[in-house]
Amino acid sequence: MLRLFKKERMWRTGDLKPRYDVVIVGAGVHGLATAYYLGSRHGIRSVALLEKGYLGSGNSGRNTAIIRSNYRTPEGIPFYQASVKLYEELSRELGWNMLFSQCGHLTLAHTDSAVNGLRVRAENNQVLGVDSRMIFRDEIRRLVPAMDLSNRPRFPVLAALYHPPGGIIRHDAVVWGYARACDRMDIDIHTFTEVTGMRVEKGKVRSVLTNRGEVAAGSVVNATAGWASIVSKMARLPLQIVSHPLQACVTEPLKPFLDKVIVSATLHVYVNQTDKGELVIGAEIDPYQSYSMKGTLPTLEQMATYTLELFPQLHGLRVLRQWAGVCDMTPDFAPIIGVAPEVENFYMDVGWGTYGFKTAPIAGKCVAELIATGKTPNLIAPFSPARFTTGQLVGEKAAAAVST
Amino acid sequence: MSFLLRCPHCGDRSVYEFRFGGEVKQRPAPDAPEAAWVDYTYTKANVAGVQKEWWYHRSGCRQWMIAARNTITNEVLETLFPER
Ligand SMILES: Cc1cc2nc3c(=O)[nH]c(=O)nc-3n(C[C@H](O)[C@H](O)[C@H](O)COP(=O)(O)OP(=O)(O)OC[C@H]3O[C@@H](n4cnc5c(N)ncnc54)[C@H](O)[C@@H]3O)c2cc1C
């Protein structure tokens, strides 16, 4: 019992080694997952994670932790589904409770065109084995009795896409769990280590320059989300990414009254109640690109206004905190994963935008496999950077964005 | 962080009166190679620092303008109408 209170370090700190087989830039959930699967599945343990801030200081510590697989495209759905399956086993695999609660997820439709969009998703989901179906007001009322389903709002709720296995995870626990598992395989995690440049010779990155010195690298992975363009430019590879802030807020706690995740693209808002009773509310991305991580009053007003359209009884509820993260948005709301032929040992795992927390296990697993075997796993093939040249964009916006 | 933009016609206005139009880029010639058009369509400098970009004053004079803005601080250094 006393051992419970014993201080235990989850990961070591130490000096940079002169060389690693794999250097991962960015120790968010994607970088950490990639390192974990390199070590655990492929025995590659000469791996360093270089992180400019503290662990989880990027979007992995700022997201609203929604996990789901009810996407729209035949490329996206199996990929997200594989990630949910890994998340279902992750607490057990890492021996670390991530409080994954598959409480159910509802995407609301307030217009006829949105109803049609959700029908397409329901059909595609079912064909590909994802538990997802259309429900209407009577069933919505049973699942979410607190929501205003009358004709009072300007855009009344007409229907919803119901995805029972969707839910919420403790995002910090995922980051810490992966970090602890990496540390136990002697993978080095270097926080407050900023990558400032790269030495590129003959189509390969030879070494990475940091504020703590130079590190030689066999392979380099870019897993820096909102900062991906800056790091990619160091390897002389421009990206198709624009960085936009995404904001969220959390309210004071209430007695439990809502046990589903509610998303409305028409109202640009989503909301769920945490185990502590707080409401976590998210918005759409800021309407202009920026690297600023400051919240804004217009977005707070928008989150409050639209939440009250769904739950008018929450007026007067106080907001505890509001924050922003910088999201790496791609033109088709799908990630960019793979290698560019120009720099053969520089791997990209970027373009995670507003939806990449849920994908870290499968993306990390696939990127690790790509590095270890040199073969692109089928699940990530559609997300190759070459798709912009061939015109084979993925078109996931309708299911990934909180906007219409 | 929210901010004001100085419309050359209407003066200082909230950024929410405008539509953001992305970074300013040189449009390739109609007969330029396909790679140039792919680049123009998809590749972004995504500058962390001062960037020239398009803004449309949709709730005002409804004209397009160019702003120089620091994308880290959101400080707007200059706004002007493009040469016609
Ligand atoms: C408000 C908000 C809500 C969201 N909600 C959800 C959600 O509900 N569900 C979901 O699936 N996704 C959600 N997301 C998206 C999700 O958070 C991200 O896609 C995901 O966390 C990306 O993980 P990552 O590891 O790629 O990036 P990050 O966690 O951002 O990690 C990148 C790291 O790279 C570091 N870095 C950057 N530059 C350098 C450098 N030069 N040198 C060293 N290190 C560097 C950064 O400090 C950062 O820690 C949300 C995002 C936000 C902002």
CA neighbor of A58 nearest in space, from A305, A275, A231: A231
| Domains annotated on chain B, with CATH | 4-80 (3.30.2270.10)
Which of residues A291, A314, A329 is at a domain's end? A329
Do residue A279 and residue A257 come from a single domain?
yes
- Residue A137, pLDDT score: 97
Residue A1 in any domain: the answer is no
The verdict on the CB of residue A80 being under 6 Å from ligand 1 is no
Assigned domain for A97 exists: no
Among A269, A354, A366, A367, name the best residue to mutate to test ligand 1's pocket (greatest count of ligand atoms within 8 A of Cβ). Answer: A354
Residues of chain B whose beta carbon is less than 8 angstroms from a beta carbon of chain A are 1-2, 14-16, 19-20, 22-23, 35, 38, 41-46, 48, 53, 71-74
Residue in A291, A294, A297 closest to B71 by CB: A291
Q: How many domains does chain A have?
A: 2
Placement of tokens 């206004």 in the chain: A305
Name the residue among B37, B34, B15 with its Cα closest to residue B25. B37
pLDDT per residue of chain A (404 residues) written in tens, 0 to 9: 677 777 878 999 999 999 999 999 999 999 999 999 999 999 999 999 999 999 999 999 999 999 999 999 999 999 999 999 999 999 999 999 999 999 999 999 999 999 999 999 999 999 999 999 999 999 999 999 999 999 999 999 999 999 999 999 999 999 999 999 999 999 999 999 999 999 999 999 999 999 999 999 999 999 999 999 999 999 999 999 999 999 999 999 999 999 999 999 999 999 999 999 999 999 999 999 999 999 999 999 999 999 999 999 999 999 999 999 999 999 999 999 999 889 999 999 999 999 999 999 999 999 999 999 999 999 999 999 999 999 999 999 888 887 65
**Cβ contact, residue pair A291, B42, below 8 Å:** no
Report the amino acid identity of residue A165: P
Asked if residue A274 is part of any domain, the answer here is yes
Task: Please identify, by atom number, the ligand 1 atom nearest to the C-alpha of residue A195.
Answer: 42
Specify whether A315 is located in the same domain as A211.
no
Same domain, A214 and A281: no
Reduce the DSSP state of residue A154 to 3 states and report it: coil
**A321 and A336 fall within a common domain:** no
C-alpha of residue A57 to centroid of ligand 1, in Å = 8
Q: For B20-57, what is each residue's pLDDT tens digit?
A: 999 999 999 999 999 999 999 999 999 999 999 999 99
Q: A222 with A261, same domain?
A: no
Ligand 1 proximity of A24 Cβ (cutoff 6 Å)? no
Separation between Cα atoms, residue A360 and residue A83, nearest integer Å: 7
- Domain presence at residue A98: no
Cβ distance A251 to A319 under 8 Å?
yes
* pLDDT of the residue at A282: 97
Looking at the domain assignment, is residue A390 inside a domain? yes
Residues A247 and A146 in one domain: yes
pLDDT of residue A1: 65
* CA A207 to chain centroid: 28
- Asked which of A276, A311, A329 is the last residue of a domain, the reply is A329
What's the mean per-residue pLDDT of chain B? Answer: 96
A252 shares its domain with A388: no
Evaluate: CB of A244 within 6 angstroms of ligand 1: no
The beta-carbon neighbor of A298 closest among B2, B23, B42 is B2
Task: Give the per-residue pLDDT at B1.
Answer: 65
Interface check A403 vs B, CB under 8 A:
no
Q: Which residue has the tokens 């030879």?
A: A206
On whether residue A83 sits in a domain, the answer given is: no
Residues of chain B contacting A298 with CB distance shorter than 8 Å: 2, 14, 16
Residue A303 included in any domain = yes
State pTM to two decimals: 0.97
Query: How remote is the C-alpha of B22 from its chain's centroid?
Result: 5
Could you tell me the CATH number of the domain that includes residue A292?
3.30.9.10
Whichever domain contains A42, its CATH number is: 3.50.50.60
Backbone angles phi, psi at A340, to 5 degrees: -95, 140
A80, A170, A224: residue to mutate for ligand 1 pocket, most atoms within 8 A of CB: A224
Let me know whether A196 and A266 are in one domain: no
Partners of B50 in the β-ladder:
B70
Boundary-marking domain end, from A311, A329, A347 = A329
DSSP-assigned letters across all residues of A322-382: EEEEEEEE-TTS--EEEEETTEEEEEEEE--TTT-STTHHHHHHHHHHHHHHS---GGGGG
What the block records as the tokens of A80 is 């997200």
Give the position, in ligand 1's atom list, of the atom nearest the Cα of A66. Answer: 8
- How many angstroms separate the CA of residue A272 from the nearest CA in chain B? 25
A251 and A306 fall within a common domain: yes
DSSP reduced 3-state for A71: coil
A contacts of B22 (beta carbons < 8 Å): 242, 289
A288 shares its domain with A259: yes
Q: Quick one: pLDDT band at residue B83, thresholds 50, 70, 90? A: confident
In angstroms, the CA A372 to CA A244 distance is 33
Q: Is residue A231 domain-resident?
A: yes
Residues of B in contact with A243 (CB under 8 A): 46, 48, 71
Residue-number span of the structural domain to which A312 is assigned: 104-165+243-329
Same domain, A302 and A287: yes
Q: Do A240 and B20 touch (CB under 8 A)?
A: no
Could you give the 3-state DSSP secondary structure of residue B52?
strand
According to DSSP, the residues that pair with B51 across neighbouring strands are: B69
The pLDDT score that the predictor gives to residue A6 is 79
Q: So what's the pLDDT on residue B2? A: 86
A37 and A130 co-located in one domain: no
Whole-complex ipTM: 0.96
Kindly give the number of the ligand 1 atom that is closest to the alpha carbon of A328.
Answer: 19
